[in-house]
A and B are shown apart, each in its own frame.
Chain A
Amino acid sequence: MKNQLDHINKTPLPFEVPDGYFDQLQDKISEKVSQAPTASPIRFQWALVPAFVVTVLVCFAILNTANEPDRSSDLLASLTNEEIFFYLENTEISEAEIAALSTEPETLLRGVNIMDQMDIDEDDFSQLMEHYDLDDNISQDI
């Protein structure tokens, strides 16, 4: 069966071209090419421009979003006092956690013994103090 393919004349192909076609083809290509720039390194950099613009826009959008005022404060403002009191009364929340949200935690925590709320024994506490080298800090403050 394979004989059939082997016995067919491959060339010439059963296709023709107009007379003088290949003589004119080079001229047609030259004419079109004269209107098209080659791929130079400069062109390659231009090709990166859209990607660069997108990158700048994405960065701008991210930074802009980061600078926007905190939406949580807007949400909190929309709540009534009763709703906030109800939430605080029914939620287990420590003074330390509240203090962490405050801009003046020292004022809020004055008179509150934080150590009572921390589950830490005395040995661990001593090690912690040594680790932070409290004395040095104190001496620096002085």
Chain B
Amino acid sequence: MEDSFIISKIQDPETINYGFNLLVKTYQERVYWHVRKMVIDHDDADDLTQNVFIKIWKSLGNFREEARLYTWIYRIATNECLNFLKKKRRKFMIPIHDVAGELSNKIDQGTYISGDEIQLKLQKAILTLPDKQRLVFNMRYFDELKFDDIAEITGTSVGALKASYHLAAKKIEIFLTEH
């Protein structure tokens, strides 16, 4: 489904519901997997994905045509993930490493986890990164987004993103070698 078609539908009050349904259908899987990679747990990812689309619905009036739909949606999903992880730390007063440890345990013992040993190890390696670096790595490595698009989503310069990705990849390689 073309973004321009979805945008034309959500900007018309007569077809806004139809347009929104198209938007959900087109983007629900991408949003879910973007969120799931960040929070690991399916139930958390499910809640967050629904919240993301409710926020999108409430913000439809603020969407500007010059913005690209998918970067706008990614930005909302990204902020939702970061806020969720921040709240989690604040609520339980736990430092970064313990959240990473908790999420790592979910990879070992959680439900709806599959994959071979190296894939699981890669996920654990990614969890050792700070949240924002994790987001950048996921968007570049798994979703294969361009740095320009990631810059638009995160509001960070392309240069800083490239440096962040390079460092992340280096840390992950070291983790994979040592574990």
Beyond contacts A28-B50, A33-B53: 19 other A-B pairs, Cβ-Cβ < 8 A, are A2-B173, A4-B173, A4-B177, A5-B141, A8-B119, A11-B142, A12-B114, A13-B115, A13-B119, A14-B115, A15-B36, A15-B114, A17-B32, A33-B57, A36-B58, A38-B57, A38-B60, A39-B59, A39-B60
- Separation of A39 and B10 alpha carbons in the complex (Å): 12
Q: Which of A18-26, A52-60, A122-130 contacts B (4 or more CB under 8 A)?
A: A18-26
Q: Which residues of A contact B113 (CB under 8 A)?
A: 14-16
Q: Which residues of A contact B57 (CB under 8 A)?
A: 33, 36, 38
- Separation of A26 and B32 alpha carbons in the complex (Å): 12
**Residue among B62, B107, B173 making CB contact with A5, cutoff 8 Å:** B173
Q: Is the CB of B21 within 8 A of A16?
A: no
Q: Which residues of A contact B122 (CB under 8 A)?
A: 5, 8
Interface residues of B in 96-133 (CB under 8 A from A): 107, 112-116, 118-120, 122-123
Instruction: Given A29-B54, A33-B20, answer yes or no on A15-B61 (Cβ-Cβ < 8 Å).
Output: no
Q: Which residues of A contact B119 (CB under 8 A)?
A: 8-9, 13-14
Q: Which residues of A contact B28 (CB under 8 A)?
A: 22, 25-26, 29
Residue A41 lies at the interface, judged by CB distance under 8 Å to chain B: yes
Please give me the residue from chain A that is nearest to B10 by CB atom: A38
Interface residues of A in 61-103 (CB under 8 A from B): none
Please give me the residue from chain B that is nearest to A39 by CB atom: B61
Q: Is the CB of A15 within 8 A of B141?
A: no
Residue A37 lies at the interface, judged by CB distance under 8 Å to chain B: yes
Q: Which residues of B contact A17 (CB under 8 A)?
A: 32, 42, 112
- On B, residues with C-beta under 8 Å from A are 16, 20-21, 24-25, 28-29, 32-33, 36-37, 40, 42, 46, 49-50, 53-54, 57-62, 107, 112-116, 118-120, 122-123, 141-142, 169, 172-174, 176-177
Q: Which residues of A contact B50 (CB under 8 A)?
A: 25, 28-29, 32
Q: Which residues of B contact A38 (CB under 8 A)?
A: 16, 57-58, 60-61
Closest Cβ–Cβ distance, residue A46 to chain B (whole Å): 12
Q: Which residues of A contact B176 (CB under 8 A)?
A: 4-5
Q: Is the CB of A43 within 8 A of B54?
A: no
Q: Which residues of A contact B40 (CB under 8 A)?
A: 15
Instruction: Given A15-B36, A30-B21, A39-B58, answer yes or no on A25-B49 (Cβ-Cβ < 8 Å).
Output: yes
Q: Which residues of B contact A15 (CB under 8 A)?
A: 33, 36-37, 40, 42, 112-115
- Separation of A94 and B141 alpha carbons in the complex (Å): 83
Q: Which residues of A contact B46 (CB under 8 A)?
A: 21, 25
14 CB contacts below 8 A, A to B, read A4-B176, A8-B118, A15-B40, A16-B113, A16-B114, A17-B42, A18-B112, A22-B32, A29-B24, A29-B28, A29-B53, A37-B58, A38-B16, A40-B61
